[in-house]
Structure 1
Amino acid sequence: MRIPQTRMGRPHRLALLACCAALIASGGAAAQDYPNRSIRMVVAGAAGGASDTIARILAEKLPPLLGKPVVVENRPGAGTTLASELVANAPPDGYTIQFITNSHTINGALRKHLRYNPIGDFAAVTLLATQPNLIMVGKDVPAKTLTELVALARKEPGKLNFGSAGAGSASALAGELFKSVTGADLMHVPYQGGTPALVDALAGRVQVLFFPMIDMVQYVQNGRLRGLAITSQHRSPLVPDIPTNAEAGVPGIEAGAWYGIAVPGKTPAPVIARLNRAFVDVLKDPAIQEKLAATGSELIGSTPEYFARYMIDDIAHWERLVKEKPELAID
């Protein structure tokens, strides 16, 4: 497991210090017998999706460490904001936790009227894992490398399109970041979820995808899609022949998925520490490591403080893109 580096400006550091101060102040109220009943883990994705898959892998191994069952509750909808709003308003007692993803911070950057504060209404527990995107093209697209894709998109503006899981989704933002950095002119085609975008890419109706590795590797391995790069600092053992985006000549487009655990704001510090220990210990289990490695995930297992900084930094990252492209903001 490793902890990636992050960068954070002074305003974000001050916000983090304020959150930490509130967290410490609330610690004295923690129940010493936590947990004494089952814990629900809220997942914004639908059953069988990428988030649900990883959440259930972890939930199966947590009861021996926590002494109580961890029950996965799927709350999809509204670009993952339904799940986040539920957790933000739940009692801060550690019995409602959220399997949180990068959609949470993307929403914090894009959506103008959230009914919760994506930082202040949550307390970080741990950053579990990161997962790079695969940049893929249909087999009929003539580009064989990432630089060839960029050149083709510049030469024939608007001819190529990229599919996403919907406006404001992580895959949509990854494509917009690619366009911003490279100057490639790709038309965005938003879908109601990642599956229909994938179906149209396999059928040749969509030319480019920017999706996390989980569930995508099989299509690259069987030749139905052509992988041009992964958005990571190093290659993946699942697709060792596919270069990183920097190796492929296009640095600065690192955008993938991440997975973590958060709880309602003002959850007592001892409860957060208890959850952190349990999740970090689960990630040390060889069987869990093997299962998550098979999804293309890189395990982290961070401290709560690190994950809090990570989320603040991620919001700032996407806010910079929205400032450059205000049309991406969602009312």
Structure 2
Amino acid sequence: MNHPFRRMAALLLFAFASTGAAAAYPDHSITLVHGFGAGGNADSVARVIADAMGKKLGQTVVVDPRTGAGGTIASAYVSKAKPDGYTLVMLTGGHTASAAMRKELPYDPVASFSMISTVSRFPFVISVKADNPAKDLKQLLDQARAHPGTVTYTSVGVGSTQHLTGELLASKAGVSMVHVPYRGGGAPVQAVLSGDVNVMVDTPTVTAPQLQSGKLRALGVTSPQPWPLLPGVPTVGSVIPGFTVMSWLGIAGPADMPQAVVDTLNHTLKDVLADQEVQKRLHAMGSEAWYGSPGEMRDMIATTTKQWIEVVKAAKIPLQ
């Protein structure tokens, strides 16, 4: 066989092998990394999505929390992983907040990742311990205004969306509140319930059980309209006109993942998020299913990062 035919045969063999490899994906378990503690919103949603993805793909999807630094540790880990589709990350709204808050990151918030799909969106809840003297948001802000620097609020880490939401709230209201960061999970709610911190800024996933038990009292929700999953809770915008913050969760992998693998995962998530049982479980956590294409997720992250950069500058929040 002469060289041209050998070369053609080799190319055909390579193409066949590549197609076969893509078609076989996944042939072993997948790891879904996130950067927050057990019991938090990212962890809870990741486990629902991982379980449903595993059933659709016929392989186990293992949730791997790598906590700290507002999710940047997990994101950095996945950004450097082999781009074969077996190491994924559950990004949160904190991904764009960190990009706005930090002087340097070990990755590019857009270019270092193969975006796959958003999975849910949700507002934040401003709440206090049930025995707090502030009966509504106006009273809390009046309290902070009368005693600057004495009202504290929680977040799941410096540079997290919860952190920026609290800073934005204080800035827009013209008050001073002290940020007390935690590593995520159930730590912020325990800090408020124990009386160590005054105000909780967190997701409905974390807040709702404590509201239902009567241990916490919700003062406001950051959605543009009253959130159906938190009936009776007024919007923050009803006290501070125009105030709105909506956050999200989405799945990505390292940059340069094969397009066939990205497509497989995106189509799987489309089916998962259309499943009524998954939607029901997400609703129970205070969020709604939100599917999107890789391009839509990429554009949303780029746009939201720019918006948070403007918020950080306007509120004069020091970069970390």
Common fold by TM > 0.5:
yes
Change (3 A) 1:198 1:36: closer
Q: Secondary structure at the match of 2:236?
A: coil
> Is 2:70 the counterpart of 1:79?
yes
Shift of 1:250: 1.8
**What is residue 261 of structure 2 aligned with on the other side?**
271
Kindly indicate whether residue 139 of structure 2 is the aligned counterpart of residue 148 of structure 1. yes
Structure 2: which amino acid aligns with 1:155? Answer: A
What is the aligned partner in structure 1 of residue 84 from structure 2?
A: 93
**TM-superposition CA deviations, 1:69-126 (whole Å, max 9, x none):** 3222222233322211121112222222111111221221112221111111112111
Aligned to 2:251: 261
Secondary structure at the counterpart of residue 133 of structure 2: coil
Task: Name the counterpart of 1:298.
Answer: 288
Gaps of 5+ in 2: 1-17
Higher helix share: 2
**Aligned residues, how many?**
303
User: Which has more radius of gyration?
Assistant: 2
CA contact (8 A) 2:70 2:156 kept: no
Question: TM-score with structure 1 length normalisation?
Answer: 0.83
Shift of 1:256: 4.6
Distance between the aligned counterparts of 1:203 and 1:33, measured in 2?
51
Quickly say closer, same or farther: Cα 1:30–1:305, change in 2 above 3 A.
Answer: farther
State the distance in 1 between where 2:39 and 2:212 align. Answer: 22
* Residue 208 of structure 1, aligned match among 169, 176, 199: 199
Query: What does residue 227 of structure 2 align with?
Result: 236
1:40-59 alignment to 2 at 5 Å? 40-59=31-50
Q: Which amino acid aligns with 1:158?
A: G
Given residue 108 of structure 2, which amino acid in structure 1 is its aligned partner? N
Aligned to 2:53: 62
Which of 295, 304, 312 is matched with 1:314 structurally?
304
Question: Greater relative contact order: 1 or 2 (C-alpha under 8 angstroms, separation 6 or more)?
Answer: 1
- The 1:151/1:41 distance shift into structure 2, 3 A limit, reads same
**What residue ranges of structure 1 are gaps of 5+ in the alignment?**
1-26
Matched residue SS, 1:215: helix
Q: Within the alignment, does 1:182 sit opposite 2:173 as a pair?
A: yes
CA-based RMSD of the aligned residues comes to 2.4
Gap change, CA 1:121 and 1:229, over 3 Å in 2? same
Aligned AA (1:265): A
Matched with 2:210 is: 219
